[in-house]
Amino acid sequence: MAEKINRSDQEWQQLLTPEAYSVARKAGTETPFSGRYWDHHDKGVYRCICCGLDLFHSESKFDSGTGWPSFYQPIAAENITTKEDRSLFRVRTEALCAGCDAHLGHVFPDGPQPTGLRFCMNSAALDFIPE
């Protein structure tokens, strides 16, 4: 992993769309079934919208029925960091990009095998690169 990318809040606002900024830099959440990747089935790699770090391959994507793109594993475990999130009056596990600390979504223990995990991501935090 290369050195972590650090930019000012103003720089992020200039680089990102308002929705991507709200989600990735301010831990927002897009409305379910509204993001561009929730029902996306092309083959390729999903990257961090902020720094371009490879996060998920389309082979690990599955339909969770939640309205957000869901994956059962990242491309590399070291590309995702997690932390406890106590917002919304409950405890969840927040998923962050290891390259720039962008908020990606949350991880839940109700995914399919082989991991049993559901990385429930926001489309606004991702960029897709087709194969």
Known catalytic residues are 120
CA 12 – CA 72 distance, rounded (Å): 29
C-alpha separations of 95 from 5, 22, 24, 71, 85 in Å: 17, 15, 11, 12, 9
Q: How many CA atoms lie within 13 A of 75 on its CB side?
A: 15
Closest Cα partner for 104 from 36, 30, 14, 39?
30
d(CA 54, CA 103): 15
DSSP code, position 10 = H
